């Protein structure tokens, strides 16, 4: 038998230990993702209670930034827990991340709000998100390595694909718990204090999953490596100080995980936020439709993991990157048509344009609540940003007062730069009232009409967008396990995975919505995942190797 490869055919019997490894790792990882994604499912309420000192659009973007804070530290968690996993063991490290995540999530349910202690509340919340991010930085590498090292040859894609389903299941679980709590308590109570309940009940899940994890044995590959005395004494140095291994890390990041990260988060979180925030579908309906689509798509993770065992990891990954690039814009445009047809029809029949001196126009994002937005351009654009309607901007002559046109109707803005605060507030309220009436006259809806939502088509489009994520996410764990040597596998695979998912993917919702707020084009945020996926396709095509028949024990045999 070659040192580098092993036969892809193997015994079809799944041992009791292998079943236990898959089930226990999957249950534990579902809980971790439930905790991590619960914040995303409640971002609107988080913004309301912890970032209430600014306007609504900025409040939501700040809530997304706090959501992204957990992603920002994931690579650091990967370094810390990856090193522990290569030196201390897969099982013990996985258990440690589980406890940290559970306690941080439970604590969010107890935090005082901005109304109670001011801006300190936001800082405490972000601290909890950072702890969650550090913990999740060790979760994926531990689960994927643990299952991958227990999987038989020729079935590693299939076995590890069960781990890939856990993020989606965790998201669905968080959405369903939120929906059930909202239904039982009612919208008013849920918005006031009931949003805490999903965080608090996570302590029960922590107890169950910890008990399950304690029943597991250590990975046989890791145990064999320790017994042979071939474990790494310094995984950081061996992973990133060694030029050959550093090259592997960079190829994995830019040729695979970077694109996988943006496609996965576009198909899970950006899709969710887009339907609720941009298309104005009510929260419960959005959660129900999203949950149905996620559950329908979940088996595809296993299918594409299995397919990668047959045809290879590289062709499946590259196909997913390319399909996302060519289909994102038409899919999201179709989603608007079926989720909020009134908005789509109004935008087509009465397009909105802001004609203004470009020197007067600011970026419509105010992270500290100090921007005044008192030029004629800013007054018009800030109104449209809050209204959540698409618009275009055209340049006017220098010094001219901005005008907002809705279809054929022109609505001159006004300059508030020389007004005192009270006068500006009164004038702005009067102008915005007339602008709102113009929007309503042009049939722009305040929210999506539930009776007009084509629910089967919305679920179908959601399914297709999520399906793109399953193509690239299904095989990625098997690829990463096979790509890196045993001695530094946990450390080496965790860092590119969490940079790709934590930074490129995790910052996608925040970045995309900031782009939308700045441009007025509700689809402009899609350029971010499309460009990153296209770059990953090109790099992967040139540099990504095929790994499905590689012997994962090659460095300790």
Asked if residue 356 and residue 332 are part of one domain, the reply reads: no
Asked if residue 400 and residue 374 are part of one domain, the reply reads: yes
Query: Which of residues 414, 441, 468 is at a domain's end?
Result: 441
Query: Which of residues 417, 441, 465 is at a domain's end?
Result: 441
The string of pLDDT tens digits covering residues 478-487 is: 999 898 887 7
The length of the chain in residues reads 557
Evaluate whether residue 41 is within a structural domain: yes
Evaluate whether residue 430 is within a structural domain: yes
Residue 374: which domain range? 345-441
Evaluate whether residue 395 is within a structural domain: yes
Asked if residue 350 and residue 215 are part of one domain, the reply reads: no
What's the pLDDT score for residue 452?
94
Higher pLDDT pick, 190 / 277: 190
What's the CA dihedral at 114, 116, 117, 121 to 10 degrees? Answer: -40
Measured CA angle at 28 (ends 459, 45), to 5 deg: 55
Report how far apart, in Å, the C-alpha atoms of 30 and of each of 25, 165, 241 are: 9, 8, 34
What 3-state DSSP class applies to 373? coil
Higher pLDDT pick, 247 / 59: 247
Residue 242 has pLDDT above 80, yes or no: no
pLDDT level of residue 549 (50, 70, 90 thresholds):
confident
Asked if residue 504 and residue 393 are part of one domain, the reply reads: no
The string of pLDDT tens digits covering residues 173-192 is: 888 888 899 889 998 899 89
CB 470 within 8 A of CB 307: no
Query: Which of residues 441, 470, 504 is at a domain's end?
Result: 441
Evaluate whether residue 11 is within a structural domain: no
Asked if residue 256 and residue 389 are part of one domain, the reply reads: no
Evaluate whether residue 9 is within a structural domain: no
- CATH code (residue 48): 1.20.1250.20
Report how far apart, in Å, the C-alpha atoms of 111 and of each of 49, 61, 130, 432 are: 10, 20, 15, 36
What mean pLDDT comes out for the span 324-349? 95
What percent of the chain stands above pLDDT 90? 34
Evaluate whether residue 555 is within a structural domain: no
What's the pLDDT score for residue 323?
98
CB 361 within 8 A of CB 378: yes
| Rounded Cα–Cα distance for residues 280 and 343 (Å) | 9
Least confident of 45-54, 194-203, 291-300: 45-54
CB 453 within 8 A of CB 340: yes
Asked if residue 350 and residue 335 are part of one domain, the reply reads: no
């Amino acid at each position: 038998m070659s040192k580098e490869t092993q036969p892809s055919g193997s015994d079809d019997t799944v041992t009791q230990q292998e079943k236990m490894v898959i089930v226990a790792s999957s249950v534990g990882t579902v809980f971790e993702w439930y905790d991590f994604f619960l914040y995303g499912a409640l971002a609107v309420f988080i913004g309301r209670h912890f970032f209430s000192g600014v306007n609504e659009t900025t409040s939501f973007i700040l809530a997304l930034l706090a959501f992204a804070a957990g992603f920002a530290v994931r690579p650091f968690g990967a370094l810390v827990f990856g090193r522990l996993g290569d030196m201390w063991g897969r099982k013990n490290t996985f258990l440690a991340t589980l406890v940290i995540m559970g306690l941080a999530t439970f604590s969010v349910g107890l935090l005082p709000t901005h109304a109670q202690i001011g801006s300190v509340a936001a800082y405490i919340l972000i601290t909890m998100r950072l702890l969650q991010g550090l913990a999740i930085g060790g979760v994926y590498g531990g689960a994927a390595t643990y299952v991958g090292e227990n999987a038989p040859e020729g079935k590693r894609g299939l076995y590890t694909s069960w781990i890939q389903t856990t993020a989606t299941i965790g998201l669905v679980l968080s959405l369903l718990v939120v929906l059930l709590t909202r239904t039982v308590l009612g919208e008013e109570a849920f918005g006031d204090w009931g949003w805490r309940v999903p965080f608090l009940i996570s302590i029960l899940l922590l107890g169950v999953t910890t008990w399950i994890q304690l029943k597991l044995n250590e990975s046989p590959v890791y145990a064999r490596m320790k017994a042979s005395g071939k474990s790494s004494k310094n995984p950081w140095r061996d992973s990133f100080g060694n030029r050959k291994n550093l090259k592997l890390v960079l190829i994995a990041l830019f040729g695979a995980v970077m694109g996988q990260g943006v496609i996965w988060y576009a198909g899970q979180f950006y899709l969710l936020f887009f339907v609720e925030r941009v298309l104005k579908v009510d929260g419960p309906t959005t959660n129900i439709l999203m949950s149905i689509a996620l559950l329908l798509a979940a088996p595809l993770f296993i299918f594409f993991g299995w397919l990668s065992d047959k045809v290879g990891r590289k062709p499946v990954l590259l196909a997913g990157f390319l399909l996302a690039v060519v289909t994102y814009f038409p899919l999201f445009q179709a989603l608007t048509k079926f989720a909020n047809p009134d908005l789509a029809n109004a935008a087509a029949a009465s397009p909105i344009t802001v004609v203004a001196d470009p020197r007067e126009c600011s970026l419509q994002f105010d992270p500290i609540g100090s921007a005044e937005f008192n030029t004629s351009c800013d007054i018009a654009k800030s109104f449209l940003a809050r209204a959540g309607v698409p618009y275009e901007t055209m340049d006017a002559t220098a010094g001219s007062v901005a005008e907002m046109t809705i279809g054929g109707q022109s609505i001159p803005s006004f300059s508030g730069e020389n007004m005192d605060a009270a006068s500006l507030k009164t004038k702005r309220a009067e102008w915005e009232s007339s602008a709102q009436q113009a929007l309503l006259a042009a049939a722009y809806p305040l929210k999506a009409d539930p009776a007009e939502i084509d629910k089967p088509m919305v679920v179908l489009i959601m399914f297709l967008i999520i399906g793109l994520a399953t193509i690239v996410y299904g095989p990625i764990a098997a690829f990463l396990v096979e790509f890196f040597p045993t001695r530094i596998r946990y450390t080496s695979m965790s860092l590119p995975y969490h940079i790709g998912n934590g930074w490129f993917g995790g910052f996608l919702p925040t970045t995309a919505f900031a782009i939308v707020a700045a441009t007025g084009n509700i689809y402009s945020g899609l350029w971010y995942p499309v460009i990153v996926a296209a770059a990953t396709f090109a790099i992967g095509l040139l540099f990504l190797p095929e790994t499905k028949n590689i012997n994962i024990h090659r460095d300790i045999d």
